[in-house]
Structure 1
Amino acid sequence: MYSLFGSLLTVGAMIGAITSGPMADYIGRKGAMRFSSTFCVAGWLAIYFAEGYWALDIGRLATGYGMGALSFVVPLMVATGVSAAFIMGTVLRWRVLALTGLIPCLILHVGLFLIPESPRWLAKKGREKESETTLQKLRGRDADISYEAIEIKDYIQTLESLPKAKLLELFQRRNLRSVVIGVGLMVLQQFGGINAVCFYASSIFEVAGFSPTVGTIIYAILQVVVVFLNTTIIDKVGRKPLLLVSASGLVISCLITGLSFYLKVHELALKSVPMLAVTGILVRLQVFSSYITANMD
């Protein structure tokens, strides 16, 4: 059941990512964010009050759905938030940790009542007056929004005049290469096993004979540093070199981690096993952050 609990987050995220596009078109980005945050709130509450594994699983699935939907509406990854959760998890009980996850969801839910809707979505729905009013709020009271309002209107008209694309067009010769590259990168990213490593990092540290608390804290700190460095160099070195380095690092990290457990099973160089395992896991997690950064946008 522990494995199922970990996997349900990604299952929910997959469903949320698939449904969030049509949902954002129908009720707007603001409405989609509110709907998604409701699932996150409900999920964390279900986990906090859970008395059995069914409530835990449902809460995990709901939280995953909300995260997946939000990843489309607000495509932004904040490494510091993830790292903070890892560090807090080393000192807080799981029920208290669920409440800390609830706090930003509630802030988001309440804050959405204070921000305007997307001007483009309003214009797309034919609510041009509201679109201009919202645009004025966003740009400032004294800003001239006439040019931007016309640009949005022209964009919507151009978009609506285009023939509706069909799914099979993705597999046409002119589109196939881009689809294979884009989808392939994302699929291989998931099949690389990063979720298993993240979910079981503390257990791997413990089995290898290294302190899971220390290992998790080191990972959280390195996560912030690596993501910061990646975002500063990506425009200088380009995405392809960063992807190549990251992919090579993932292979090397797998070899190091595998070697550590091979030595442990065969009782060879046992003193080096903990350090090899920690090095392999940390290298894997950090180069994966580089992979994610290169895949952004």
Structure 2
Amino acid sequence: MDRQEGAEQGLLTAASSGGGGGGGGSATGVLLLSTLVAVCGSLEFGAAIGYSSPAESGIMDDLGLSLAEYSVFGSIMTVGAILGAIMSGKLADLVGRRGAMGISDILCLSGWIAIIFSEGAWLLDIGRLLVGCGVGLISYVVPVYISEITPKNLRGGFGTAHQFMLSLGSALVYFIGTVVNWRILALIGAGPCALQIVGLFFIPESPRWLAKVGSDRKYEAALRYLRGKNSDISEESTEIKEYTLTLQQISEGRILDLFQKTYARSLLVGVGLMALQQFGGSNAIAFYASSIFESAGFSANVGTITMAVVQVPMTIVGVLLMDRSGRRPLLLISASGTCLGCFLAGLSFLLEDFHRWTQVAPALVFVGIVVYNASFGLGLAGIPWLIMSEIFPINMKGSAGSLVSLVNWFASWIVTYIFNFLMELSTAGTFFIFSAIAGLTILFVAKLVPETKGRTLEEIQAAMNPLTA
């Protein structure tokens, strides 16, 4: 057995022998504050996703944009997010989780300011691109930071705070966007960035990242700060240190290393969940909800406000159930609901095409989109990001995070860019495609996605990435 194989065997031993690393613990004030500051980024994420729907008519009227030009604006955020995703993992490894969040805030603030003062398509698109770059960073670093600071018995609930705040951000923008113009809405969208920049000065860095970069005193101090002054951190600290020392004997992972058989299952699960989430229509429906309701002959304001009202409580239900029912059951229920919602929307548009039940069809679209949105908030919105943060070992997390985030945002760009054109070709067919992909998601989760509830990160990663040599 060579040095690399011995190190990988050591990971299995370290993970299976201890119960510490992120073991049982309580929700201290510092942990709550750190999570709250981190999920300001999630709130920003949600606001950026939700912005293009209520702003659509105002921007098109004020700046004279065509549908094709607005499609560029709506989808260019995902191009920026692709760029942010490419550098997200390596940047978070280089400057730390807090540093990466700070850089994302600067990018998002710059983007929102450009949108606020734009008088034409070019500055509008530059602003949206910058917001996308920031969101691409946020989408990776926030779930990773939360998973690395939280005890295993609380990690699911705290991890889905990302999902909850993302849904809340979208909901607030949908709701507020019905009563304010698009420039004021952009100013409101910049608010979470400012809050997070201030908050970053008051929270600790991830202990696992500090241990990885060799800051022994700092990582123990950060861990004690998070767990409470009088808590016993010896077992957790020892397991993190031993696991990190063993990882240091293995070369820092590159993206090409992810394609080894050792990481095959983790890569398949991470990439598969992200691709299915986006090809199932999530960002397309969020970006263009207003135009979907209008094309169905239903009130856009009533539809988007209802989406906002329904999604938040369903996300809260997901947060409450995360560490009780587990990740897999919530994902299965969520995917089933999105499948049903898209099927109902597609059926409604099909009835309109055949001039049948034309009085009922708009209400059926409304029901379908609301069912979709509520179901998506229950699990698919945030659980793929949580699982991504759990299944890759820390020496591969940077490369894996960049690749998985890249897949998510590239798929989002494809769907959001072609969505309006698909709707022109066949509105019903567009939603039936989304419904079919949601059906594939059910099968994928049932067959391949592991349950990570109640397990330390070290245990999950050793089980998902076993020694194969």
- Aligned match of 2:376 in 288, 291, 296? 288
Q: Which residue of 2 aligns with 1:207?
A: 295
Deviates more, 1:245-254 or 1:126-135: 126-135
- Offset at 1:236? 4.5
Identity of aligned residues (%): 49
Q: Which residue of 2 aligns with 1:279?
A: 367
- What TM-score results when the alignment is normalised by the length of structure 2? 0.58
Q: Quickly say closer, same or farther: Cα 1:208–1:137, change in 2 above 3 A.
A: same
Q: Which residue of 2 aligns with 1:11?
A: 79
Cα contact 1:230–1:293 (8 A) shared by 2: no
Q: Quickly say closer, same or farther: Cα 1:265–1:87, change in 2 above 3 A.
A: same
1:37 aligns with 2:105: yes
Q: Which residue of 1 aligns with 2:117?
A: 49
Secondary structure in structure 2 of the residue aligned to 1:271: coil
Secondary structure in structure 2 of the residue aligned to 1:51: coil
Deviates more, 1:174-183 or 1:128-137: 128-137
**Distance across 2 between alignment mates of 1:16 and 1:83:** 24
User: Which runs of 5 or more structure 1 residues have no equivalent in the other structure?
Assistant: none
Deviates more, 1:266-275 or 1:134-143: 134-143
**Distance across 2 between alignment mates of 1:69 and 1:138:** 24
Q: Which residue of 2 aligns with 1:245?
A: 333
- Aligned match of 1:222 in 291, 294, 310? 310
1:72 aligns with 2:160: no
Q: Quickly say closer, same or farther: Cα 1:45–1:187, change in 2 above 3 A.
A: same
**Distance across 2 between alignment mates of 1:123 and 1:245:** 38
- Offset at 1:178? 3.9
**Distance across 2 between alignment mates of 1:170 and 1:122:** 23
User: Which runs of 5 or more structure 2 residues have no equivalent in the other structure?
Assistant: 1-68, 144-161, 388-469
Greater relative contact order structure (CA < 8 Å, 6+ sep): 2
Q: Which residue of 2 aligns with 1:2?
A: 70
**Distance across 1 between alignment mates of 2:352 and 2:185:** 33
1:184-235 alpha-carbon deviations (Å, 9 max, x no partner): 1211111112211111111111221211111111100110121122233344
Q: Quickly say closer, same or farther: Cα 1:11–1:270, change in 2 above 3 A.
A: same
Deviates more, 1:282-291 or 1:110-119: 110-119
Query: Which letter maps to 2:177?
Result: G
RMSD: 2.5
Aligned residues: 297
- What TM-score results when the alignment is normalised by the length of structure 1? 0.88
Q: Which residue of 1 aligns with 2:11?
A: none
1:197 aligns with 2:285: yes
1:145-197 alpha-carbon deviations (Å, 9 max, x no partner): 66655554434322211244454554444543442233112111111122111
- Offset at 1:257? 1.4
- Offset at 1:11? 2.1
1:227-272 alpha-carbon deviations (Å, 9 max, x no partner): 1222333444444343333333333322221222223233322111
Cα contact 1:44–1:101 (8 A) shared by 2: yes
